[in-house]
Chain A
Amino acid sequence: MKEFKSGFFVGEESCNGRVLVVDDEADIRKVVRMTLQKAGYEVLEAENGEKAIETINSGENRLLLDVMICDIRMPKVNGIEAIAYFRQNYPRVPLIVLTGFPDTDMATSLLRQGVVDYLVKPVEGEKLKASVARAMEQRKLAPL
């Protein structure tokens, strides 16, 4: 059985949207998943930018990925490179940066590139959920 919710057809379970969390630390991915799952989101994980690009290019994610939350300092393909790829190839997917290091210049530059939010760890669950909700609003407005 399929239902129509948040503008998308989703699976049997109620789902507010599909979020990809990109961070090289498994602990961070775990707590972000914990927070967002409780808020009704489906959470996918990737450990670096390369894996994030692989994820969005696989299967139905091309169509069904709603939001990406991305760290900056990561091996292989870092956050900056991954964000550039997403902006270019999937401009309709809103991006949220979640980084351990506050860098004003980088934040300004990323927000100019259309990043929805630049969050600095540690970020409270409520703030993270609000940011994802805002990104989801933007996602709904974007043309497919």
Chain B
Amino acid sequence: MNTSRPVSAAPTRVAIIGAGRGGTALLDLLHQISAIDIIGIHDRDPSAPGLQRARDLHIPVVDQIDDLFRNRHTQLVMDVTGDPAMDQQLHREIRPGVDILSGSASRVVWELVRHESALQAELLHAEKLAGIGSFAAGITHDINNPLQLILGLAENLAEETDLHNVHEQAREIVDAVKRTTAICRDLTSYARRSATHQQSLVDINSKLDDALRIARYAVGFQDITIIKRYAPEATLKGNPDELLHVFVNLITNAVQAMEHGGTLTLRTTAEETAVSVHVSDTGCGIPPELLNEIFEPFFTTKPPGKGTGLGLYNIKHVIHQLHGTITVNSEVGSGSTFTITLPRASVTL
């Protein structure tokens, strides 16, 4: 028996009315809580975004509101329509014994959900900043190397008399400065706070390339062979900063799992409605008994001060918000593959 978690009673069975922005957010949140069982969701508008989301999560979409009222299993109805008429109808027609959460009570719940979402965004940023500490070695190395070239060439130029050499070395200095500038640009784009609501069309393949460049600051890529198998047209609507963060995290983990070298494979597959990203390593693998825990907050195998234990937890959250899934296949001694599947067009809080 797992002693770290309280033994839960039977889950509370909840029906949600309203599948707009509030209903979708509520659905996403409640779906993650094992003590709550969502038995159905209804909206007068059949094209409400939460209904498609519910189908993706295999939660029943109830076309007729009466069916929800009659459902013997319903214990609590949460009305997030904000419609006073719905509130009255609920109180008039619901079976006795069923609790109703509506009006100002459901507004409070909506505020709590929003608050939770803001906290998650904070946590994501905090974890990212904590991780940047580990970039110090890589950045110093990658800046000092071009600086050595610049210094050496400049010293030589002071004495160089051959005009051809002068021109060539001046050009090399300019290139070295550009390389150094690119490092700073990468870092600032990675460290900035992402605006969670902002979505744009993201080219997943080029995002993976960006992540690969940034991950090099965090971990040594010595003796790592990189294989890229990108599908063309791997694009989707999402938050580019958050996706970059997810990929940097997965690549860093993969390389860290291959202490004595190995092969990192980045693969994308594109279908009509979804794009998948597979990050594989040939490293130490994850023992089966830990596979359920790796996405838990504060789970880490790294020594104190080396990992926050929030990497995969945050990844799961970001992927979930994009209405995607993340799975892992791992074998001790052979390596791990993390697979993320994201819908082409996604909605988020």
Asked if B184 is at the interface of the complex by the 8 Å CB criterion, the answer is no
Given A25-B145, A27-B176; A124-B140 close (CB under 8 Å): no
| Chain A residues within 8 Å of B151, by CB | 31, 122-125
Q: How many residues from B make CB contacts under 8 Å with A?
A: 23
Q: Which residues on the B side are within 8 Å of A76 (C-beta)?
A: 222-223
B223 proximity list for chain A (CB < 8 A): 75-76
Q: A residues within 8 A CB of B144?
A: 100-101, 120-122
Tell me if B35 is interfacial: C-beta within 8 Å of chain A: no
A74-B222, A75-B223 given; A28·B145 CB < 8 A: yes
Chain B residues with CB under 8 A of A124: 151, 155
Give the interface SS of chain A, mostly helix, strand, loop or mixed. Answer: loop
The reply to whether A32 and B142 contact each other, CB–CB distance below 8 Å, is no
A101 touches B140 (CB 8 A): yes
B178 within 8 A of A: no
Q: Report the contact-size class of chain A (Cβ under 8 Å from the partner).
A: 20 to 34
Which residues on the A side are within 8 Å of B155 (C-beta)?
35, 124-125
CB distance from B146 to the nearest CB of A (A): 8
The answer to whether B222 and A75 have CB atoms under 8 Å apart is yes
Please name all residues of chain B whose beta carbon is closer than 8 Å to the beta carbon of A74 when the two chains form the complex.
222
Residues A31 and B149 in contact in the complex (CB < 8 Å), given A73-B141, A100-B142, A122-B144? yes
The winner among A28, A35, A75, A101 for most chain B CB atoms within 10 A is: A101
| Chain A residue contacts of B137, Cβ below 8 A | 101, 103
Asked if residues B149 and A27 are in contact (CB atoms below 8 Å), the reply is yes
Q: Is A111 an interface residue (CB 8 A)?
A: no
Do the beta carbons of B222 and A28 come within 8 Å of each other? no
**Chain B positions 145 through 173: 1 when the CB is less than 8 Å from some CB of chain A, otherwise 0:** 11111111101100100000000000010
Closest residue on chain A to residue B138 by CB atoms: A101
Q: Does A78 contact B (CB under 8 A)?
A: yes
Question: Would you give the shortest CB distance from B219 to chain A, in whole angstroms?
Answer: 11
Chain B proximity mask over A20-49: 1 for CB below 8 Å, otherwise 0: 000001011011101100100000000000
When distances are taken between beta carbons in the complex, the residues of chain B under 8 Å from A102 are 140
Given B140, B149, B152, B222, which contacts A125 in the complex, CB threshold below 8 Å? Answer: B152
> If A121-B148, A122-B147 touch, does A100 touch B141 (CB 8 Å cutoff)?
yes
Contact A31 B140 (CB under 8 A): no
CB of B49 closer than 8 Å to a CB of A: no
A38 to B148, CA, bound (A): 17
Chain B, range 198-226, C-beta contacts under 8 Å to A:
220, 222-223
Q: Which of B145, B146, B152, B220 contacts A35 (CB 8 A)?
A: B152
On whether the beta carbons of A122 and B148 are closer than 8 Å, the reply is yes
The residue of chain B having its C-beta at the shortest distance from the C-beta of A123 within the complex is B148
Complex CA distance for A35 and B146, rounded to whole angstroms? 16
Q: Point out the residues of chain A lying under 8 angstroms from B141, CB to CB.
A: 73, 99-101
Identify the A interface with B (CB < 8 A).
25, 27-28, 30-32, 34-35, 38, 73-76, 78, 99-103, 120-125
Can you offer 11 A-B residue contacts whose CB atoms are under 8 A? A31-B152, A35-B156, A38-B156, A75-B222, A76-B223, A101-B141, A101-B144, A103-B137, A121-B148, A122-B144, A122-B150
On B, residues with C-beta under 8 Å from A are: 137, 140-153, 155-156, 159, 172, 176, 220, 222-223
